Amino acid sequence: MRALANLSDIVIPMLIFFIVGYGYVSKVKVYETFLKGAKDGLNIVVDIVPTLIGLLVAVGMLRACGFFDMLGRVLAPVTGLMGLPVQLFPLLAVKLFSSSAATGLVLDIFKTAGPDSYAGLLTSILMSCTETVFYTMSVYFLAAKVTKTRYTLAGALLSTLAGTVASVILAGRMV
Amino acid sequence: MLNTIWAVMILTAVMYGAFTGRMSDVTNAALDSAGEAISLCITMAGVVALWMGLMEIAQRAGIIEKLTRGISPFLTLMFPRIPKGHPAREYIATNIIANVLGLGWACTPAGLKAMEALAKLEAERGNAGYLAGQDGSGAKNRYASNEMCTFLILNISSLQLIPVNMIAYRNQYGSSNPTAIIAPAIAATLFSTLVAILYCKWKDRGRKAW
């Protein structure tokens, strides 16, 4: 895990060094180009503000009404057996359908358990290595006008499961 | 999809809140969360703008184009039956690199183009399973080609190397080391992608054309 931790520390500085250095050597006007890209980035964030408001409000209300506590008590026997945080199951289920709805749950976990707790680390890694299975499949297959998706779902779920197992193991070693 | 999820969340919260007598908590949560979304976006804006600025440089300097060409051997491995020079290859390459670099806006258009190109490829091949729905009965029961299955499974296995958004969220909620997850995330992503590759190759074994 030490090597992984060191790698985490150097990835971003190395990337910045490489991109800016390579750009400068290839005679790109690096600063002006950076400003243009950064502006595009701001526009992307502005576009997602309404989504985040809608979903954070929904998740916040669900937490406040006691629904998550109830869910936790119901799931406790199952999750306790595997040593997994209770919040993981609703998160996994939602992530299959919608990335932004999953973000709402992720932020709730960060707020209640902290981003550096076991649950927080597990969530961070899990969200980084999984995709929205059903959403992606429906949009992409619609473009090809395909209705029979054959083994796509099985493969997608298998790789999601692999990512989940890897996240649980890696997060367990980080705490 | 999100319409249903969102409605179920909101309606459940209000009904369950009424049932448990926590309506004032629900009210406060709704108002606080709306404000919280804004402060989150302010943190995120900085990180996302930084990333997109760097990516713009990478694009102008030709780094992204180089990467797209660089994964050609990988494409040949995963899609041996797409002819070299077919537009599908180019779109798939663009989609994969955009995914790896976390360029969400560039992934989907290239991905949809790739699916259309793969559909055209099936028509060119005269694949009975894919063409089945075209005559008379409309576009019903069209079967995905092996290439489509492989492309989507790879896509869903997640290819993103730097989880930019996750780092921004961790930063906002007071992580002592927001980037600590980069290496484990890369490891987990590589593992899930490796499983996806093996599964696709196993499913695709010994097939000539579909």
* Nearest in space to A51 (alpha carbons), one of B38, B52, B11: B38
- For the stretch B135-168, pLDDT in tens is 444 556 788 999 999 999 999 998 998 899 899 9
B11 touches chain A (CB under 8 A): no
* Nearest in space to A103 (alpha carbons), one of B175, B101, B163: B163
State residue B210's pLDDT score: 43
In this structure, are residues B129 and B93 in contact, taking their beta carbons and an 8 Å threshold?
A: no
Mean pLDDT of A5-29: 91
Please count the CA atoms within 13 angstroms of the CA of A71 that sit on its side-chain side: 17
In this structure, are residues A91 and A126 in contact, taking their beta carbons and an 8 Å threshold?
A: yes
State residue B209's pLDDT score: 45
DSSP state of B62: T
Q: How confident is the model at residue A44 (pLDDT cuts 50, 70, 90)?
A: confident
Q: The tokens of A9 are what?
A: 């520390």
State residue B20's pLDDT score: 92
A8 touches chain B (CB under 8 A): yes
- For the stretch B61-84, pLDDT in tens is 999 999 989 999 999 999 999 998
- Tell me the helix, strand and coil percentages in chain A, rounded to 5: 80, 0, 20
B16 touches chain A (CB under 8 A): yes
What is the phi/psi pair of residue B77, to 5°?
Answer: -65, -45
Is pLDDT at A31 greater than 90 in this prediction?
yes
Q: Which residues pair with A116 in a beta bridge?
A: none
ipTM score for this prediction = 0.86
Q: The tokens of B159 are what?
A: 């290819």
In this structure, are residues A44 and B52 in contact, taking their beta carbons and an 8 Å threshold?
A: yes
Residue in this structure with the two tokens 């939602």, named with its chain if needed: A94
Is pLDDT at A153 greater than 90 in this prediction?
yes
Best of A159, A160, A175 to substitute, by most chain B Cβ atoms within 10 angstroms, is A159
**Which of A41-50, A122-131, B142-151 has the least mean pLDDT?**
A41-50
Q: Report d(CA A56, CA A45) in Å as an integer.
A: 15
Is pLDDT at B174 greater than 50 in this prediction?
yes
DSSP state of B61: T
Show which of residues 51-90 on chain B sit within 8 Å of chain A, judged by CB atoms: 51-58, 60-63
In this structure, are residues A89 and B63 in contact, taking their beta carbons and an 8 Å threshold?
A: no
**Which of A16-30, A78-92, B127-141, B148-162 has the least mean pLDDT?**
B127-141
Is pLDDT at A158 greater than 90 in this prediction?
yes
- For the stretch B6-33, pLDDT in tens is 999 999 999 999 999 999 999 999 999 9
Is pLDDT at A6 greater than 90 in this prediction?
no
Mean pLDDT of A53-78: 88
State residue A78's pLDDT score: 79
In this structure, are residues B145 and B121 in contact, taking their beta carbons and an 8 Å threshold?
A: yes
- The total number of residues shown for chain B amounts to 210
Best of A140, A141, A142, A165 to substitute, by most chain B Cβ atoms within 10 angstroms, is A140
- B192·A20 Cβ contact <8 A: no
State residue B1's pLDDT score: 66
What is the phi/psi pair of residue A148, to 5°?
Answer: -95, 110
Q: Report d(CA A127, CA B91) in Å as an integer.
A: 25
Q: Which residues pair with A148 in a beta bridge?
A: B143
What is the phi/psi pair of residue A149, to 5°?
Answer: -95, 0
Q: Which residues pair with B143 in a beta bridge?
A: A148
Q: Report d(CA A106, CA A119) in Å as an integer.
A: 10
What is the phi/psi pair of residue B45, to 5°?
Answer: -55, -45
In this structure, are residues B45 and A7 in contact, taking their beta carbons and an 8 Å threshold?
A: no
Q: How confident is the model at residue A157 (pLDDT cuts 50, 70, 90)?
A: very high
- For the stretch A95-116, pLDDT in tens is 988 888 899 999 999 999 999 9
